[in-house]
Chain A
C-alpha cells in the first residue's frame, strides 16, 4: 500500500493572528469584563470595590433624576451627531472628488495634533466676552456690549461638532472615494436632477460609511463630559459628568461602572437596530431584483 504521500498544507493563519488575539483579549476584553464585573460588586467607602455581589449600583439607577440625565444626554448627542454628519458629508464628497486628496486629508487631521482641552480653550477665547467674535463685533460697532456666546447648549453642540467632525469625515471619505462617480452621470442621463442623483444614487451607496460615521460620533458623545463642564452652565450636566462624579466625588465605583454598562447597552441596541434594518434592506433589494428578473 504505497500511495503517493499526501502533503497536507498546514494553515498557519491562527498562529499568525495569535499575538493580535492575545493583545485584544488583554487590553480590550479584560477591561470590558472588569467594567461589567465591578458594576455587580459592592462599593468600598474609599473608592474601589469589595468582593461582594451586589446589584445596588443598578437599582440605584432607577431614579427620575438619572432618567432625565439619559434623556438630556441622548438629545444633545443626537443633535450634535446630526449636525456633524450633515457637515461631514459635503466635506467628504469634496475631498473624494478633489485632486489633492492627501493634502486635504492631512488638513483634516491637523487639529488632532493638539490636545483636546487646549482646543476647547481655543474655542473659549473665540466665544468669551472679550473673545475674538465679540471684539470684532464691538470693533465695527455692530453690538454695544458683548454677546453671551458661551455657556449655552449651542456652544456645547458647536464644540462637539468641531471635535467629532474628523471622526465622521474619515469613514465617509473612504466610502465615497470607492463610489463610482459615473453612476451620477448615468442617473442624470436617465433624467434625474443633480439633487436626485445624490439622494437616490450616491447616499444609498455610501450608507455603510454614514452608519460608521454616526457611531463614531454618537457613541463617544454619550459619555463625554469635558465640553459641557468647561463651556456649559449648571444645567448642562450629563451622564458623562455623573460617571465622572461617581468616581472622583462620591467614590462610588460600582455606580460609575453600572452607568457605563447601561450606556454600552444603549449603544448596542442602536447598533443591532441599524444592523437589522440594513439586513432587511438588503433582503428587499435582493427580492426586488428577483422580481425584476422574473418579469
Chain B
C-alpha cells in the first residue's frame, strides 16, 4: 500500500518536474552563500552561452536535507568533505570522468590527499580547505591568548558567541583537552561536554547567523566564526581587510581546530552533466581559481593559481593543513548529538 502510494506521489512529482523542465542552456548550481565572485559566474555564462541558476545554502545539513528530500534539479553541488562521504555512501554523486576535467591536474595533491571521502577525486573535487577560528575586537579586548580558553573568561561574559554547530564547538572542546577533534571516545566527549558547559556560562548565544553583524556593531567582542563571514561584515567585501588589522584579529586557536573541505560534485540526477563538468573544470582554471581565492580569502587549493593571487588569505595554508579534517561520524554521530543536547539544548 505504502509502496503504491509512494509510486503515485513520485509520479505526481515527476509530472511536476517534467512540466517545469528548464531550457537546455540552464545550469543549476547549489553552493554556499558568499562563495563565488559574481563575475566568475558571468564569465562562465558568457563563454558557454548558458544561464546559471544559482541557489545558496548556509549549512551542509540544509543542502543534504534538500537533496535527500528529493530535489533533483541541481547539477553541481558543493558538499563539505564529510557530507561528500555520506552522499557517496548513499549513491547520490556521479562518478567523475577525469578526461573531462583536465584542470584537475592543477589541484594541490597535498589537499586531495587530505580528503577522507575520496582522496582520488573520483566523486568530488576540492573547492577549498578552510577552518573556523576566533575573531577578536582588539579595541575592546586588550590582552588575550590565542587559545580556546578565551571562552573561559568570565570578564567577557555576554560579549562572546560560539557557532551553533555541534561539530565545530565540540572539536574545540576536544582539542583544548588535548584530544582529536574527531574523537568518538565517550570519556573524552564527557570532558568536552564539561568544557562546553563552562563556556556556555560566558557566551551570549550559540549563533551561526547574526554574530557577524553583532561583531561589526561592537556588541560582540569575541566570536567563534568562519573568518570570511565576519570580514564581510566589517570590511568592504573583504577587499581591504588589512586596513582593519589594528582593530580586529582572526586566529586559529593554538590547541588546533578541525578543518573542513568543500568540494564540487555532480549529482547522479543532474540534468546537465556535460555543462557541470565544464563548470568544475572552469573553476580550476588557474586564472579563475585565483579570482575565487582572492574573493573568499581562503587558502588557495590550486597550485598554478597561487602565483596569480593578489591578496593574502585570512590564514595560511600551513595553518589549515595543520588542522584535522572533519570526518563523517557515521553511526557515532549520536554521541555528538547527545553532547549537544546536554549543552546547547538544555539548561544544564
Instruction: Produce 1/0 per residue, B8-39, CB < 8 A to A.
Output: 01001000000000000000000000000000
Which one of A170-178, A215-223, A228-236 contacts B?
Answer: A228-236
Distance in angstroms between the alpha carbons of A26 and B86 in the assembled complex: 31
- The listed residue with most A CB atoms (<10 A of its CB), out of B90, B213, B341, is B341
Which residues of A (246-279) have their CB < 8 Å from a CB of B? 247-252
| Bound CA span A188–B205, Å | 54
**With contact pairs A65-B345, A249-B166, A249-B340 given, residues A232 and B205 touching in the complex (Cβ less than 8 Å):** yes
**Residue A183 at the B interface, CB < 8 A?**
no
A-B contact count (CB 8 A): 74
The contact size tier of chain A is 20 to 34
When the two chains form their complex, are residues A124 and B213 in contact, meaning their CB atoms are under 8 A apart?
yes
Q: Provide the main secondary structure of the chain A interface.
A: loop
Bound complex: CA of A290 vs CA of B163, how far in Å? 66
- A48 and B166 alpha carbons, distance in the complex (Å): 20
Per-residue B-contact encoding for A26-53, CB less than 8 Å = 1, 0 else = 1000100000000000000111100000
- A129 an interface residue at 8 Å Cβ cutoff? yes
A130-B217, A245-B340, A250-B340 given; A230·B210 CB < 8 A: yes
B167 to chain A, nearest CB (A): 9
User: Which of A68, A69, A128, A232 has the most chain B CB within a 10 Å cutoff?
Assistant: A128
Q: Report the interface size for chain B: residues with CB under 8 A from the other chain.
A: 39
A69 to B341, CA, bound (A): 12
Minimum Cβ distance to chain B for residue A212 (Å): 32
- Taking a contact as CB atoms closer than 8 A, the residue among A242, A247, A252 that contacts B345 in the complex is A242
Q: Is B247 an interface residue (CB 8 A)?
A: no
Please, what's the 1-or-0 string for B133-167, where 1 marks a CB less than 8 Å from any CB in chain A? Answer: 00000000000000000000000000000001010
Do residues A47 and B337 form an inter-chain contact, with CB atoms below 8 A?
A: no
Among the listed B204, B331, B341, B346, which residue makes an inter-chain contact with A68, where contact means beta carbons less than 8 Å apart?
B346
By the criterion CB–CB under 8 Å, are A65 and B68 in contact?
no
Check: B218 CB closer than 8 A to any chain A CB: yes
A45 to B166, CA, bound (A): 16
Instruction: Given A46-B86, A128-B219, A249-B340, decide whether A230 and B209 contact each other with a Cβ distance below 8 A.
Output: yes
Please give, as numbers and ranges, the residues of chain A lying within 8 Å of B207 by CB-CB distance.
229
State whether A129 touches B61 (Cβ < 8 A).
Answer: no
* CB-based nearest A residue for B218: A129
Query: How far, in whole Å, are A190 and B218 apart by their CA atoms in the complex?
Result: 62
A237 on the B face (CB < 8 A): yes
By the criterion CB–CB under 8 Å, are B90 and A46 in contact? yes
Q: Does B344 contact A (CB under 8 A)?
A: yes
Q: Provide the residues of chain A in CB contact with B86, threshold 8 Å.
A: 46
B89 at interface (Cβ–Cβ under 8 A)?
yes
Interface assignment of B284: CB less than 8 Å from any CB of chain A: no
Query: Do B333 and A234 touch across chains, with their CB atoms under 8 A apart?
Result: no
Q: Known contacts A46-B89, A65-B346; decide if A129 and B217 are in contact (CB<8 Å).
A: yes
Q: Please give, as numbers and ranges, the residues of chain B lying within 8 Å of A241 by CB-CB distance.
A: 345
Q: Are A237 and B217 in contact (CB under 8 A)?
A: no
Residues of B within 8 A of A129 (CB): 217-219
What are 17 sample pairs from A and B whose C-beta atoms fall under 8 A apart? A45-B333, A65-B342, A65-B345, A124-B210, A128-B214, A230-B209, A233-B205, A234-B200, A234-B205, A234-B206, A237-B346, A245-B340, A247-B61, A248-B59, A249-B166, A249-B337, A249-B340
Residues of B near any A CB (own CB < 8 A)? 5, 9, 12, 59, 61-62, 64-65, 68, 86, 89-90, 164, 166, 200, 203-207, 209-210, 213-214, 217-219, 330-331, 333-334, 337, 340-342, 344-347
Given contacts A234-B206, A237-B346, could you give 6 more A-B pairs where the C-beta distance is less than 8 Å? A30-B5, A47-B64, A232-B205, A235-B347, A248-B62, A250-B341
